[in-house]
Amino acid sequence: MMADFESRDAQLRARLLAIDGSTHGEEQLKCDVVLRTPSLLAPFPFLVSNEWEPIPGWPQGGKGDLVFTDGGGRYAVVEVKWMAPLYSGPSQKKRRNKKRGKVKSQAKIYAMHVLQVCTDALEVRMMTYTNDPQRPGLHDLGALARASTADAV
């Protein structure tokens, strides 16, 4: 099982990082997360998904960005959002506020989906990574946990 995670991780990282230096926006932020996994996401060393559809074949359901695991039932969903940091004014502030709310909402929705479809998932952390001028970087929004059978009784 661990070898499967290691193999998948190597494939996804190679594909994502093979993009030439012309990446920008969210792709660049995703590369930053992947390159900095040892320091940003030490408990979750394995990348298991990049650009995934929660409902395959139904793009209206959105696309998740990155999913990492520790290989032992703990997952981290990282939603990435690029914000135009160079522009100011009321319109840009409203756009950034909207994006802040959207990225948090997406992280929660996609974490719930991972908890449902990954049968080995015991806990899923909800995280965001942005270039937000006010709070750039990785932010942990908390975790969702699978209810144990003892809790259900």
Q: Model-level pTM? A: 0.89
Name which of 117, 128, 135 is nearest 30 in CA terms: 128
Report pLDDT for 149.
Answer: 52
CA distance 124 to 45: 14
Q: What is the pLDDT of residues 97-153, one digit of tens each?
A: 899 999 999 999 999 999 999 999 999 999 999 999 889 999 999 999 988 655 544
